[in-house]
């Protein structure tokens, strides 16, 4: 019934022109000192951005992700989005905008770093966005224990007003009246966002047409969120909505045909299907009924799929999805497995022993206990093993703590712990199976979960996130790095946020911040790559290097930019200095570099001169008009004397162009050249009929450039 109701309300105009979508995605773990710090609001925002750019028709250059903003910063981002929408409306494209927020809130507004952004002001900003369709998804409310709740006590939902009339708007909230929006430690995400994203990747495609509409995505997220939260400590969570769209047709949010790879669950499969990535993280969760296939849009890569039919039968399969391909998961590919049994920590408290002295385990005071105790001080002549530490653990050769060390742990050759809150020192190897918050010093440091703090070793490996610094010859983080990696080689497997400074920096996932080194490799980079060779998939920021390679890059600055989805232009022009000039311009939509050459029959000392050089330019487009501001450096020499330069020339010009045809434009504008003679025997005054002499060897030549641009 709900799906039928939404289908009648969700209506979008059938576009006669191209569709251009913009997105502002915000995550806020930090709600202020009086609020519990969330774990997954920022990662939820990044996951939403990824789905929108992969399947939602949003160009990576048209999505802005902001993490832990203040109210002023979020409002500034909205104002910047509004300016871009105003510019886009001048073109032939139909414009739609998507706003997403995950974080803290109360009954009055969003809570950002302890400050409040009222719903009144937020809604006013959203209403002012000039677009045919405005979609807002807010995942926020309260906070709890086993499931972390966003905000404070459960409050009535907002932006849900049956009496409002918001033509062209769709507002979705993760919770309804008197309920709380909840985070799940198992999902590593907000419950509502997790199922909303799963729906967008294909789990919600109830019509099986390869497209997910707003109605389908909301219906799926509503049902799954309510089912998942029925037995939580915060109670059931029912998402809310307020949708007022007029026109004909359904509003399609994602198109599975745009995915890098597809996974098809065959019709005979039934039950709850979990698709896990190569790092073990849950990517998509599907409640699938037998009878019809389900198609999921995913990234190319390795996956583990677990199918629980609800009747005690669990099967799994490991798959590799290739780019631009589809793989069908059948029951024949599943191998039988079991659901891992887990035990809550703290169900059985450890015995307490103030002091433990050991020769080697189990020759120790604690040897008589049924399980290793929690100690305040533990020392081993050779080695010592305890259950947990609140104080000091010291072993001359090795030290071992099954659980958390709150204090200092020192092992001569080996230190093995659970989590660490304090200082950990292992002479050769330090291994932690939990989070490390503080300082660790070792030749080799291995942490299977998060590292939070400063870690100095020859080799640092973290299986989870790194929030702080790794100082080493080689740093490896399978999770995200939100801080600094400094070493000879830095590697971040899933993503990176902060600074990588090394000879070689690699971030296979998304990178936020800066990579500075000889070689920089990134997936989707938001920030900067600075090095001799920079390679990335998408760069929202700048690349500075001799060679920059990317699919798209906002501002590539280099000798050679290879931007496969960027701009390639051939330009020809004439000016006072050279009768004929040509240039190849390569780069992004707004920043580019170029290689140029020219011929001047009035060369130095009256002889013909050839020139070659390079330059950098920035471009702004206004419909069929565009402007280019360029700077260049040229070497002038006589034919056959390439390495015997006679004059250097620097130039600055402003090109104002008009696009006559799709691949042909004309331009003109003012320019200023500075000619610098190599020695006193060369006369730069012969290079142009007019100019201003700064000295015997330096001449300023103002003028005009006239030319055409192709491709």
* Contact partners, residue 268, CB within 8 Å, separation at least 6: 290, 330, 331
**What is residue 565's predicted lDDT score, i.e. its pLDDT?**
79
For 151-166, the pLDDT digits (tens) are 333 322 222 222 223 3
Q: What's the pLDDT at 467? A: 66
Q: In the predicted model, what is the mean pLDDT of the chain?
A: 78
- Given the candidates 3.40.50.300, 2.60.40.1120, 3.90.76.10, 3.10.28.10, the CATH classification of the domain at 261-337 is 2.60.40.1120
- Residues β-bridged to residue 53: none
Q: How far is CA 120 from CA 68, 81, 123, 244, in A?
A: 20, 19, 5, 18
Quick one: DSSP state of residue 152? Answer: B
pLDDT digits (tens, 9 = 90+) for 593-640: 899 999 887 665 567 888 889 998 999 988 889 999 999 999 887 777
pTM of the model: 0.46
Report yes or no: 685 and 709 within 8 Å, Cβ to Cβ: no
Q: Give the pLDDT score at 160.
A: 27
Over residues 26-46, mean pLDDT: 78
CATH 2.60.40.1120 in the chain, residue ranges: 261-337
Burial 407-446, CB ≥16 within 10 A → b, else e = bbbbbbebbbbbbbbbbbbbbebbbbebbbbbbbbbebbb
Which positions ≥6 away from 373 have C-beta within 8 Å?
350, 351, 352, 353, 356, 366, 386, 387, 388
- Kindly tell me if the per-residue pLDDT of 711 is higher than 80: no
Domain spanning 2-255 has what CATH number?
3.40.50.1460
> ∠ CA 652-656-658 to the nearest 5 degrees?
150
How far apart (Å, rounded) are the C-alpha atoms in residues 558 and 651?
A: 18
Winning range, highest mean pLDDT, from 241-255, 444-458, 552-566 = 552-566
Q: What is the pLDDT of residue 671?
A: 93
Q: Is the pLDDT of residue 43 over 70?
A: yes
Q: Which of 92-96, 199-203, 526-530 has the lowest mean pLDDT?
A: 92-96
Looking at the domain that runs over 567-710, which CATH code has it been given? Answer: 2.40.160.20
CA distance linking residue 587 with residue 554, whole number of Å: 8
pLDDT of the residue at 150:
39
Q: Where in the chain is the domain with CATH 3.40.50.1460?
A: 2-255
Least confident window among 19-28, 101-110, 482-491, 624-633: 482-491
Q: Report helix, strand or coil for 684.
A: helix
Angle of helix 119-127 relative to helix 71-89, nearest 10 degrees?
A: 10
Structure tokens at 60: 């990576």
Would you place residue 36 in the very low, low, confident or very high pLDDT band (cuts 50, 70, 90)?
A: low
């Amino acid at each position: 019934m709900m799906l039928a109701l939404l289908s009648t309300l969700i209506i979008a105009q059938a576009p006669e022109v191209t569709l251009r979508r913009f997105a502002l995605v915000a995550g806020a773990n930090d709600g202020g000192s009086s609020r519990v710090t969330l774990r997954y609001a920022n990662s939820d925002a990044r996951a939403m951005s990824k789905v929108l750019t992969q399947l939602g028709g949003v160009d990576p250059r048209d999505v802005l992700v902001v993490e832990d903003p203040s109210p002023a910063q979020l409002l500034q981002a909205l104002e910047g989005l509004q300016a871009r929408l105003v510019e886009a409306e001048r073109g032939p494209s139909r414009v739609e905008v998507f706003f997403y927020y995950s974080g803290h809130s109360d009954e009055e507004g969003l809570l950002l770093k302890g400050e409040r952004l009222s719903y009144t002001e937020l809604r006013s900003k959203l209403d002012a966005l000039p677009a045919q369709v405005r979609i807002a998804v807010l995942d926020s409310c309260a906070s709890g224990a086993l499931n972390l709740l966003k905000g404070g006590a459960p409050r009535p939902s907002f932006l849900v007003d049956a009496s409002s009339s918001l033509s062209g708007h769709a507002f979705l909230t993760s919770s309804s009246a008197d309920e709380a929006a909840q985070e799940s430690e198992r999902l590593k995400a907000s419950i509502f966002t997790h199922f909303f994203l799963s729906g967008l990747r294909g789990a919600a495609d109830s019509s099986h047409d390869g497209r997910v509409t707003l109605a389908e995505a909301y219906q799926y997220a509503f049902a799954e969120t309510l089912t998942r939260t029925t037995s939580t400590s915060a109670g059931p969570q029912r998402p809310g909505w307020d949708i007022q769209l007029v026109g004909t047709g359904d509003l399609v949010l994602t198109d599975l045909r745009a995915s890098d790879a597809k996974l098809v669950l065959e019709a005979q499969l039934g039950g709850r299907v979990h698709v896990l990535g190569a790092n073990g993280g849950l990517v998509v969760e599907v409640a699938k009924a037998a009878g019809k296939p389900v198609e999921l849009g995913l990234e190319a890569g390795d996956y583990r799929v677990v199918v629980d039919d609800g009747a005690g039968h669990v099967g799994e399969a490991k798959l590799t999805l290739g780019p631009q391909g589809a793989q069908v998961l059948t029951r024949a590919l599943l191998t039988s497995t079991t659901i891992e049994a887990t035990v809550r920590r703290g169900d059985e408290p450890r015995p307490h022993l103030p002091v433990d002295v050991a020769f080697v385990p189990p020759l120790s005071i604690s040897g008589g206990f049924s399980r290793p105790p929690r100690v305040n001080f533990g020392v081993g002549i050779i080695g010592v093993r305890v259950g947990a530490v609140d104080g000091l653990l010291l072993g001359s050769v090795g030290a071992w703590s099954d659980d958390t060390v709150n204090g200092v742990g020192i092992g001569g050759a080996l230190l093995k712990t659970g989590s660490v809150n304090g200082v950990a020192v292992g002479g050769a190897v330090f291994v932690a199976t939990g989070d490390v918050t503080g300082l660790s010093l070792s030749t080799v440091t291995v942490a299977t979960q998060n590292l939070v703090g400063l870690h100095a070793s020859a080799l640092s490996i973290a299986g989870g996130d790194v929030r702080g610094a790794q100082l080493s010859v080689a740093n490896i983080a399978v999770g995200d790095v939100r801080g600094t990696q400094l070493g000879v080689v830095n590697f971040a497997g899933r993503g990176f946020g902060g600074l990588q400074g090394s000879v070689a920096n690699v971030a296979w996932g998304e990178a936020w911040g800066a990579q500075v080194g000889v070689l920089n490799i990134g997936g989707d980079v938001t920030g900067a790559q600075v090095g001799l060779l920079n390679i990335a998939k998408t760069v929202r920021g700048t690349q500075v290097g001799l060679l920059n390679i990317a699919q798209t890059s906002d501002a590539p600055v280099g000798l050679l930019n290879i931007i496969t989805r960027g701009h390639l232009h051939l330009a020809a022009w004439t000016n006072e200095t050279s009768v004929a000039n040509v240039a190849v311009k390569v780069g992004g939509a707004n920043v580019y570099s170029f290689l140029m050459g020219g011929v001047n029959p009035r060369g130095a000392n009256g002889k013909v001169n050839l020139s070659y050089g390079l330059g950098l330019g920035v471009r702004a487009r206004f419909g069929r008009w565009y402007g280019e501001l360029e700077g260049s450096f040229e070497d002038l020499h006589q034919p056959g004397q390439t390495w015997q330069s006679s004059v250097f020339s620097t130039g600055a010009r402003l090109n104002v162009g008009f696009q006559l045809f799709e691949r042909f434009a004309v331009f003109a504008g003012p320019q200023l050249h500075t000619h610098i003679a190599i020695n006193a025997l060369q006369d730069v005054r012969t290079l142009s009929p007019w100019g201003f002499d700064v000295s015997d060897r330096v001449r300023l030549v103002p003028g005009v450039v006239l030319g055409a641009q192709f491709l």
